[in-house]
Amino acid sequence: MTVDRITRARFACVICVACACVTLLPCGCDRAEPSKPSVGVVAPATAAAPSLAPSSSQAVPQAVPQAVPQAVAPPFTMTAAAIEARSADGTYIVRWEPVGGSLPDAEPFDMRFEIKRADGKPVARTAGVIVDAEMPQHGHGMNLTPTIARAGDGLYLARGMLLHMTGRWVLSIDIEEDAIAERTQWYVDVR
């Protein structure tokens, strides 16, 4: 190959890479830099913000949420379609479901969830609860901060959830009770 042909080949490669970058750029996130995770919190009205020290190897968001007054939601019953998982150390069994039965497409929604202790004891009314969703591959969380209301013993309603883009999300519910924090999480694929 002559020097002229090599130069043209390199130039063509640079142009191809630049075109690929310009084409793929709009497919990414809607922000230039990762944000702090959005966090919804419910905590006793007289307590400080819950401690986020995990009791296991599961990471807990590093945001320091503010304690909010306990809101109250009407009681409800979980359906058979609720999705269940155990917390990282097995202390809690958590079930959740979107209100209305299915996740809306890039629209705010509410979700119901139920927290039970695996040992059968009731969850303390003073337990702190944090709900969050994030896209680890994109380095961001939700654009909205959900509010959480108690609806009865172990029943909660998270208002203002938003999975604003397609892809894999990690939905997490963190429970802090008696200075022990545990995370329960699920993969949620939004298409």
What's residue 173's pLDDT?
Answer: 96
pLDDT at 39 over 90: no
pTM of the full structure:
0.65
Same domain, 90 and 122: yes
Same domain, 56 and 121: yes
Place of tokens 């680890």: 136
Quote the radius of gyration of the chain (alpha carbons, Å). Answer: 22
CB atoms within 10 A of CB 21: 9
Same domain, 12 and 40: no
Same domain, 164 and 184: yes
Q: Among 27-36, 112-121, 123-132, which stretch is predicted with the lowest mean pLDDT?
A: 27-36
**pLDDT band at residue 105 using 50, 70 and 90 as cut-offs:** confident
What's residue 57's pLDDT?
Answer: 38
CB atoms within 10 A of CB 148: 25
Q: Which 3-state string (H, E, C) describes the chain?
A: CCHHHHHHHHHHHHHHHHHHHHHHHHHCCCCCCCCCCCCEEECCCCCCCCCCCECCCCCCCCCCCCCCCCEECCCCCCCCCCEEEECCCCCEEEEEEECCCCCCCCCCEEEEEEEEECCCCCCCCCCEEEEEEEECCCCEECCCCCEEEEEECCEEEEEEECCCCCEEEEEEEEEEECCEEEEEEEEEEEC
Closest CA to 113 of 141, 154, 69: 154
Same domain, 85 and 130: yes
Amino acid in the structure at residue 160: G
> What share of the chain in percent tops pLDDT 70?
63
Same domain, 17 and 84: no
What's residue 5's pLDDT?
Answer: 59
**pLDDT band at residue 71 using 50, 70 and 90 as cut-offs:** confident
Which of the two residues, 176 and 32, has the higher pLDDT score? 176
Same domain, 181 and 135: yes
Number of domains in the chain: 2
The domain in which residue 9 lies consists of: 1-30
Same domain, 66 and 25: no
Same domain, 57 and 2: no
Same domain, 134 and 180: yes
